[in-house]
Amino acid sequence: MLRLRSSVPHHRAEEFAAVLRELDGVSRLVQQDDESRDSKHYVFVADVEPNCADRLVEEIAGMGIRGDDYVLTRMEVIAPQRHHRFGEAGDGFAWIEVLGEARANSRPLARYLALINVAAVIAALGVITSSPILIVGAMAVSPDLLPICATSVGLVRGDRALARRAFATLVFGLGLVVVTAAVLSALLHLSGLLPDDFDVDRSSLSNLAVTDYSTVLIALAAGVAGMLAFETRASQAVGVAISVTTIPASAYLGVAIGGGGIEHALGALVVLAVNVSLLILSGTVTLLVQRILPNRSGAPL
């Protein structure tokens, strides 16, 4: 369930109230004076079903109401419990909500860079010590799901600027993993903590540099899971499904460059390129399929 709060001038109040009443999916409409304004304004509050949110935003924009005069937020409904028949959209999601998430995560914010660096250190040590537990830990920390899904949203919407910005953020983040892993491996080698004869190919995780049919299938499945999680704001829980195809290969590549075994770096680079391409492909297809399904949204993406 979504909640709309808006402040409308008195001469537009009747028109705005009529628009809200006519929209199927808007309920519990409340109108009251806006005491925070010097001039006469009315505050409108209403509950909004996700499947009509896009239409609502279009209507608000069509009336010329400014973006800072309304806010649409998501609420967690505790009761009553709702039951839906097979084929119904249920609470679903609004395209405008997905687009907002994509725009918010299409830039390399400080938190994104910090988490990607932490994931790089953990994954590099996992490769060096042949520890699958550390690799899983790195996958859980990594935020690379966010720019991947934002890239897919930009492609489906036809927003080239958003797609380019998100993809650049993704490439920059994965490049940072490679650089961090390479620097860490080189420092360990120079300090003597890494044996002189260290060869990443002798690690039990050397299959991270091998591309086969499972690489393709895992990336395609992870892209679907990642996009569905992104839509429902559960990306943190499913992020490991995405990172299983990106962070380990990136760290392996960095360790190969900085610690030894550079001849095996090309294989990890191929795995990384294939995985990223397929993740974006399956995420984009997932979003396209939902776009054409009935009753998913009241407005086009």
Give the CATH number, domain containing residue 71.
Answer: 3.30.70
Q: What is the mean pLDDT of the chain?
A: 83
Q: Is residue 229 part of a domain?
A: yes
User: So what's the pLDDT on residue 261?
Assistant: 67
141 and 258 inside one domain: yes
Same domain, 269 and 120: yes
User: Are 103 and 87 in the same domain?
Assistant: no
Residue 246 in domain: yes
Flag the least confident range among 19-28, 34-43, 194-203, 288-297: 288-297
Same domain, 286 and 190: yes
Q: Identify the domain boundary among 92, 113, 137.
A: 92
At residue 171 the predicted structure's pLDDT band, cuts being 50, 70 and 90, is very high
Q: Pick from 76, 92, 108: which residue ends a domain?
A: 92
Mind spelling out the 3-state secondary structure of the chain?
CEEEEEEEEHHHHHHHHHHHHHCCCEEEEEEEECCCCCCCEEEEEEEECHHHHHHHHHHHHHCCCCHHHEEEEECCCCCCCCCCCCCCCCCCCCHHHHHHHHHHCCCCCHHHHHHHHHHHHHHHHHHHHCCHHHHHHHHHHCCCHHHHHHHHHHHHHCCHHHHHHHHHHHHHHHHHHHHHHHHHHHHHHHCCCCCCCCCHHHCCCHHHHCCCHHHHHHHHHHHHHHHHHHHCCCHHHHHHHHHCCCHHHHHHHHHHHHHCCHHHHHHHHHHHHHHHHHHHHHHHHHHHHHHHCCCCCCCCC
| Predicted confidence (pLDDT) per residue in 27-56, tens digit | 999 999 888 776 788 999 999 988 788 888
146 and 247 housed in the same domain: yes
237: domain range? Answer: 97-292
pLDDT at 12: 87
Dump pLDDT digits (tens) for 251-261. Answer: 989 998 888 76
Q: Which residue has the tokens 């395209």?
A: 95
Asked if the model's pLDDT at residue 128 lies above 50, the reply is: yes
Is 88 inside a domain boundary?
Answer: yes
Position 168 pLDDT exceeds 90:
yes
Q: Does pLDDT of 138 surpass 80? A: yes
120 and 269 share one domain: yes
Note the pLDDT of residue 81: 61
For 217-253, write each residue's pLDDT tens digit. Answer: 988 998 898 888 887 765 555 555 667 778 888 998 9
- Going by pLDDT thresholds of 50, 70 and 90, the confidence category of residue 298 is very low
In a domain, 178, yes or no: yes
Query: Is there a single domain that holds both residue 16 and residue 107?
Result: no
Crossing angle between the packed helical segments 145-157 and 95-104, to the nearest 10 degrees:
130
Residue 281 and residue 220 share a domain: yes
Does 251 fall in a domain?
yes
Together in a domain, 113 and 51: no
Total of domains in the chain: 2
Considering the domain architecture, whether residues 134 and 184 belong to the same structural domain is answered as: yes
